Amino acid sequence: MGDVDLFDPATQQDWYPAYDALRDDQPVYRIPGSNIYVLTRYDDVMWVLRHQDLFPTAGATARHERTRQVYRDRGWDRMMPLSVNPPEHRWYRALVDPHFNGAGAERWQPEIEAVIDDLIDGFAPDGYVELVEQFAMPLPLRLITHILGLPADDIPQLKEWSAAWVLPFSGPLPEDQEVWVAEQVVEFQTYLQHHIDQKRQAPGADVLSALVAARWHDERPLTDPEIISMVDHLFIGGNETTTFAITSALWLLLREEGLYPRIMADRSLIPAFVEEVLRLESPTQGLYRAVAADVERHGVTIPAGSIVHIRYGAANRDERMFACPHEVDLDRANAKRHMAFSLGEHSCPGSGLSRLEQRLALAALLERLPDLRLAEGNDFAHEPGFVLRALTELHLEFTPG
- Summarised one tens digit per residue, pLDDT across range 160-197 is 998 888 888 777 788 899 899 989 999 999 999 999 99
- Report how far apart the first and last C-alpha atoms of the chain are (Å, whole number): 53
Instruction: Considering only residues 346 and 279, tell me which one the structure prediction assigns the higher pLDDT.
Output: 279
Tell me the mean pLDDT in the region 315-343.
Answer: 95
Q: Is 224 helix (H, G, I), strand (E, B) or coil?
A: helix
Is the alpha carbon torsion for 83, 84, 86, 90 positive or negative? negative
User: Of 59-63, 82-86, 321-325, where does mean pLDDT reach its minimum?
Assistant: 82-86
Instruction: Considering only residues 100 and 202, tell me which one the structure prediction assigns the higher pLDDT.
Output: 202
Three-state SS for 135-196 is: HHCHHHHHHHHHHHCCCHHHHHHHHHHHHHHHHHHHCCCCHHHHHHHHHHHHHHHHHHHHHH
At 77, the pLDDT band (50, 70, 90 cuts) reads low
Other Cβ atoms closer than 10 A to 321: 19
At 83, the pLDDT band (50, 70, 90 cuts) reads low
Other Cβ atoms closer than 10 A to 397: 16
Task: Tell me the per-residue pLDDT of 358-377, one tens digit each, with 9 for 90 and over.
Answer: 999 999 999 999 999 999 99
pLDDT computed for residue 124 by the predictor: 98
Residues 143 and 89: their CA atoms lie apart, in Å, by: 25
Share the mean pLDDT of the chain: 91
Reported pTM: 0.93
Task: Tell me the per-residue pLDDT of 30-47, one tens digit each, with 9 for 90 and over.
Answer: 999 999 999 999 999 999
* Topology (CATH level 3) of domain 9-397: Cytochrome p450 (1.10.630)
